[in-house]
Amino acid sequence: MKELSPTLQETIENSPFLLHPLRYAVLKVAKCPNPKPHFLVTHETEEVSVITTEEKLDMLTSQILQQQRWFRLLEFRMSTPFETPGFLAAIASKLAGCQLNILLVSTFSKDWLLLREEDLEAGLNSLNELGFQQVFS
**pLDDT tens figures, 10-53:** 999 999 999 999 999 999 999 999 999 999 999 999 999 999 99
Q: How confident is the model at residue 83 (pLDDT cuts 50, 70, 90)?
A: confident
| Nearest of 68, 76, 75 to residue 51 by alpha carbon | 68
What confidence score (pLDDT) does residue 53 get? 98
With 90 as the cut, is the pLDDT of residue 88 above it?
Answer: yes
* The amino acid at 3: E
Task: Please give the residue that has the higher pLDDT: either 79 or 136.
Answer: 136
The answer to whether 48 and 42 are in contact (CB under 8 A) is: yes
Task: Please give the residue that has the higher pLDDT: either 107 or 50.
Answer: 50
| Nearest of 64, 70, 85 to residue 24 by alpha carbon | 70
What confidence score (pLDDT) does residue 117 get? 97
Residue 62 burial (10 A CB sphere; 0-12, 13-18, 19+): exposed
30-36 CB contacts, 8 Å cutoff, 24+ apart: 30/63, 30/65, 31/63, 32/60, 32/63, 33/63, 34/59
With 80 as the cut, is the pLDDT of residue 85 above it?
Answer: yes
Domains observed in the chain: 6-135 (3.30.2130.10)
